[in-house]
Amino acid sequence: MTRVLYPGSFDPVHNGHVEVIETAARLFDEVVVAILGNPDKAGGMFEFPERVAMMAETCAPHANVVVVHRDRLLVEVAHEFAVDMVLKGLRGAADFDIELQMAGMNRAVGGTTTLFLPASAPLAFISSRFIREIAGAGGDVSMLVPPAVNRRLVAKAGQNARSAP
Ligand code: PNS
């Protein structure tokens, strides 16, 4: 049986992430989607319980996918779930540079093996950062995110509009 860990900050999960999860659910017996903290992205848009709720709803069709949140190192989560490897999506060269470095660090400190999955071209431009920026300003990103995310983005935009001076 093969078990893979798909980690990320997922603030929020978007269709590029969903592509990775759907592929992993086909390729591996079990997929652990782990929502972790990224110290470079502190003070995000969604609290961790909301990120978990959106991810759990999005992954519900896949019986072999579990969603967890952990406040610890990726290598510790990899050991906790005894995964065979870690899976990361790659959108382009910028992702590759940082992901290769993280994979090397995680291999050195935790012995984890990281596998990279390139994004399909139509999804390679999507980023959580720009989802937050566009939706936060009232823009429509419904074509880029799962319904569980879009509902919450629309609700947040409505709250912001109501509280604007
Ligand atoms: O979706 P992201 O923000 O690119 O994911 C990055 C994430 C959360 C996987 C990374 O920041 C991480 O592994 N955080 C847990 C803390 C950790 O193990 N840091 C060492 C990374 S080499």
pLDDT per residue as tens digits for the range 102-124: 999 999 999 999 999 999 999 99
Spacing, Cα 155 to ligand 1 middle (Å): 28
pLDDT tens-digit map of 25-60 = 999 999 999 999 998 888 899 999 999 999 999 999
Q: Is the pLDDT of residue 77 over 70?
A: yes
Residue nearest to atom 9 of ligand 1 (CA): 8
Q: Which residue has the tokens 């906790």?
A: 80
Cα distances (Å, whole numbers) of residue 155 to 138, 148, 165? 10, 11, 18
Cα distances (Å, whole numbers) of residue 15 to 50, 71, 102, 111? 17, 24, 23, 30
Span 61-88, average pLDDT? 98
- Assess whether 129 carries a catalytic annotation: no
Q: Which ligand 1 atom sits closest to the C-alpha of 74?
A: 18
Span 129-133, average pLDDT? 97
Q: Is the pLDDT of residue 164 over 90?
A: no
Q: Which ligand 1 atom sits closest to the C-alpha of 41?
A: 3
Q: What is the DSSP letter of 60?
A: T
- What is the torsion angle, in degrees rounded to the nearest 10, for the CA atoms of residue 66, residue 153, residue 126 and residue 118? 0
So what's the pLDDT on residue 110? 98
| pTM of the predicted model as reported, rounded to 2 decimal places | 0.96
Catalytic-labelled residue, pool 9, 14, 17, 51? 17
Concatenate the DSSP letters of all residues of 4-18 into one string. EEEEE--TT--HHHH
Spacing, Cα 74 to ligand 1 middle (Å): 7
Spacing, Cα 40 to ligand 1 middle (Å): 9
For residues 30-62, one letter each, b for 16 or more C-beta atoms within 10 angstroms of the residue's C-beta and e for the rest, the string is: bbbbbbbeeeeeeebbbebebbbebbbbbbeee
